[in-house]
Structure 1
Amino acid sequence: MTPGPPAAPRRRSVVLMFPGTGAQHPRMAAGLYPHEPVFAAAVDEVLGLLGPVGAEARADWLAAEPVVPMAADTRSAPLLFAVNYAMGRLVESWGVRPDGYLGHSMGEFTAAVLAGVFSLPDAVRLLWARVLMQRTTPPGGMLAVAAAREDLAGYVGGYPGGEVVVAAVNAPRHTVLSGPDGALAEVAARLVADGVTFRALAARSPYHSPALAPLVAPTVELLRPMRLGAPRTPLHSAYTTEELSVATATAPEFWAGQPTAPVLFWPTLDRLLGERDLVLVEAGPAQSLTVIARGHPAVRAGHSEVVATLPPRAKGPEEDRRCVRAARERLLALAGPRVVTPASVHSG
């Protein structure tokens, strides 16, 4: 009996992940700009919507010595969003159609654009409005603490300088605290005294804390005229830990409240990886989500896999391109090619 043709390899489900504030760094993915037309066009599309501000941000991103550093919110926010969005478009241009999206903090806006909830112009307008509105709130910061959320109960709450809260649960022993400068300094001093390991994140605002509550109402008003659509691809929210329903995805109050809500990345990841085997693709800089996801038991056991598309830090143009080539080869082996329909890739 003549054996039949070998069975086609099983296509693995793909979820694209997009990092949030803190992943940005000087010249992130800059090595792709002259060599990847899809990536470059997507970056230009985002920054073009910001007019002169976007042109200045692009010049600083590509410059060896930028005029305005990446730490400034006028650079970090638009450039991180642009790189995330462009990497998502690049991955999809390879013929890999994601079965879902997952963003961390600001990365959820990128996910929402690719899923069809926001048009790109509306998302960029909202992003820039938040940059400007954040300047009216007290200065603050964030601390990444090597401890479980429940172990930090004694460090959160009211202080003379403001309130400190849990801003993110990234892993079982990776919790982020956030608050105004004075209160956060008191917490940092207590952590040092108690021998708890932590590091300050590259954030100048107390993201995901009550300090940003004044931004919610004006953001709702900004969102009301926007036409929010039902997700065309499952959009997994690290705020609800669930796939967003149409009602939630199209509610202005949900998006407006994100600056004050904690990011529950690990519980969301835990649910996703507990349901099925996945290929998780970090479509953005720094590999912060890759490191977290590779620590999950489902990944360590080999049931699911994580693919990074960019290096963990700027290592030069050739390393950007090498990392992308390796990611493309691995992804096509695991999950593609699969025809990308007009509904799955769009610019808004």
Structure 2
Amino acid sequence: MADTADQLSTRNSVTLPSLAYTSACRRSHASYRYRKAFVTNSLQHLQQEVMSAASTEPTMSKVEPQLVFVFCGNGVTLKEFSEALLSSEPVFRDKCKEIEALFQKHAPISLLPARGHRPKDLLNPELSQPLLFTLQVALASLLKYWGIKPVAAVGHSVGEVAAAHFAGYLSLADAVKLIHHRSRLQAKTAAGRMLVVGNIPVQEIAERLHPYSGKVCIAAFNSPVSCTLSGNSDSMDAVQRDLAQAFSQRNIFLHVLNVPAAYHSPSMDTILGELEATIQPLEKQKGEIEVISTLTGVAASEKDFAQGRFWAQHTREPVAFAQAIKTAAKDRENMVFVEISPHQELKEAITSIKVNKETVREMYNYCIHPVLLDCFLQMT
């Protein structure tokens, strides 16, 4: 790093793209056990970062990093797959094509970018959920091919289907069938809204919801100070105004998710019986790694994932994400949470969760947290 810092300070001909290319593709890494990555937007900033890193004495970790793949759920901004990744990575491309072919056994759906999708179409669960599932499974397959393997997986809401397949508990055909019927039925539910609330203890938010009982509920427990609310549009508008006023002096965070339905709310009750019936049978398979379920907050079993009732409850009940992250981190050291998502959506929630008197944020300080899709996909 010292020689790179010196090069940046003495050579005017260096450009950021050429330096990045040379460092990644034209330098032998065989003699070096460790690498360090920098996020930067200018040579000046990079020089400062490199000089700071070069002057810091590295500390050896006592244990190898333990990866946990975190598969995101609904609400992320999703457009189309990156043509660059599809053209340059055969493993990714072939997996996408395999999944698209399986979906087409259920419905005439097109997922790959050559077909094109209108922005409003991507709000439809019948397209957005298959797209998200395909992207997550293809990326996780590529990481596995590269030798990047986690010790556990967590799936936020619908992300648990991709997590269960990646971990070996669901065949790809069964996972596609589950996503197809789940998204098809959810598209039929009454319109509603979902609201992410942050920077306020969840217990205080829950107390504010008493006047809206039966109309608005907590759909996801993201962290001790973040939750997602779900309910009918009129009641959600009123809740948003109430919370904004009540916590105006406490930096409350309010963000309306770009989703067409009130997931994990009573709006889902009408589809649960049909969902349970149509996804059966599911083949029971012995998994390869642990999946911490966001239905229960603890490790799920092969029996759980093979039951239609489990997935019906999973669709209706609140997402126990905070508890699942605690369980995943318990009794493990040097944790690295890798978010499998189009964008970095869950980091703030993950890093505010306390585990054994430590926060996951402190664990991040000692590990690299690769936001992989932000690097690989160009989705703007």
Q: Same fold (TM over 0.5)?
A: yes
1:284 alignment partner, one of 341, 360, 364: 341
* CA displacement 1:76-110 (0-9 Å, x = unmatched): 11111110111110110011232111111111000
Amino acid in the other structure paired with 1:25: L
Q: Does the CA-based 8 Å contact 1:191-1:197 persist in structure 2? A: no
Q: Does the CA-based 8 Å contact 1:290-1:307 persist in structure 2? A: no
Q: Comparing both chains, which one has the higher relative contact order based on Cα–Cα distances under 8 Å and sequence gaps of 6 or more?
A: 1
- Calculate the TM-score normalised by the size of structure 2: 0.73
* CA displacement 1:172-193 (0-9 Å, x = unmatched): 2111101122221221232233
Residue 340 of structure 1 is matched in structure 2 by none
- Distance in 1 (alpha carbons) for counterparts of 2:215 and 2:303: 31
Residue 101 of structure 2 is matched in structure 1 by 48
Residue 173 of structure 2 is matched in structure 1 by 121
* 1:103 aligned onto 2:159: no
Higher mean displacement: 6-15 or 114-123 = 6-15
Q: Does the CA-based 8 Å contact 1:18-1:108 persist in structure 2? A: yes
1:232 alignment partner, one of 272, 275, 288: 288
The 3 A distance-change label for structure 1 pair 189 and 291 is closer
Residue 272 of structure 1 is matched in structure 2 by 328
Amino acid in the other structure paired with 1:306: H
- Distance in 2 (alpha carbons) for counterparts of 1:125 and 1:141: 26
The 3 A distance-change label for structure 1 pair 273 and 138 is same
The 3 A distance-change label for structure 1 pair 251 and 157 is farther
Residue 343 of structure 1 is matched in structure 2 by none
Q: Does the CA-based 8 Å contact 2:82-2:378 persist in structure 1? A: no
- Distance in 2 (alpha carbons) for counterparts of 1:310 and 1:12: 20
Partner SS, residue 88 of structure 1: helix
Q: Does the CA-based 8 Å contact 1:286-1:313 persist in structure 2? A: no
* CA displacement 1:263-309 (0-9 Å, x = unmatched): 12122212322321222212221111234334452342545553221
1:141 alignment partner, one of 155, 168, 193: 193
The 3 A distance-change label for structure 1 pair 72 and 92 is same
Residue 362 of structure 2 is matched in structure 1 by 300
Partner SS, residue 153 of structure 2: strand
Q: Does the CA-based 8 Å contact 2:193-2:236 persist in structure 1? A: yes
The 3 A distance-change label for structure 1 pair 219 and 303 is same
TM-superposed deviation, 1:155:
3.4
Residue 82 of structure 1 is matched in structure 2 by 134
User: Bigger radius of gyration, 1 or 2?
Assistant: 2
Output aligned runs, 1:189-268, within 5 Å: 189-194=241-246, 195=248, 196-268=252-324
Amino acid in the other structure paired with 1:18: F
Q: Does the CA-based 8 Å contact 2:282-2:306 persist in structure 1? A: no
Q: Does the CA-based 8 Å contact 1:103-1:109 persist in structure 2? A: yes
Structure 1: 4+ residue segments shifted above 6 A: 6-9
Partner SS, residue 216 of structure 1: helix
Q: Does the CA-based 8 Å contact 1:57-1:74 persist in structure 2? A: no
Higher mean displacement: 83-92 or 129-138 = 129-138
The 3 A distance-change label for structure 1 pair 118 and 314 is closer
Q: Percent identity?
A: 26
* CA displacement 1:214-247 (0-9 Å, x = unmatched): 2211122123322132323111112211111344
- Distance in 2 (alpha carbons) for counterparts of 1:298 and 1:48: 39
- Distance in 2 (alpha carbons) for counterparts of 1:267 and 1:136: 30
- Distance in 2 (alpha carbons) for counterparts of 1:313 and 1:88: 12
Partner SS, residue 34 of structure 1: helix
* CA displacement 1:9-49 (0-9 Å, x = unmatched): 95322221111111242235443111111111111111122
2:372 alignment partner, one of 294, 309, 312: 309
* 1:154 aligned onto 2:207: yes
- Distance in 1 (alpha carbons) for counterparts of 2:221 and 2:119: 35
The 3 A distance-change label for structure 1 pair 67 and 272 is closer
- Distance in 2 (alpha carbons) for counterparts of 1:305 and 1:41: 29
Residue 36 of structure 1 is matched in structure 2 by 89
Q: Does the CA-based 8 Å contact 1:17-1:101 persist in structure 2? A: yes
Q: Does the CA-based 8 Å contact 1:279-1:306 persist in structure 2? A: yes
Partner SS, residue 205 of structure 2: helix
Partner SS, residue 275 of structure 1: coil
Amino acid in the other structure paired with 1:119: S
Q: Does the CA-based 8 Å contact 1:29-1:285 persist in structure 2? A: no
- Distance in 2 (alpha carbons) for counterparts of 1:262 and 1:155: 17
Question: For the aligned residues, what is the CA RMSD?
Answer: 2.9
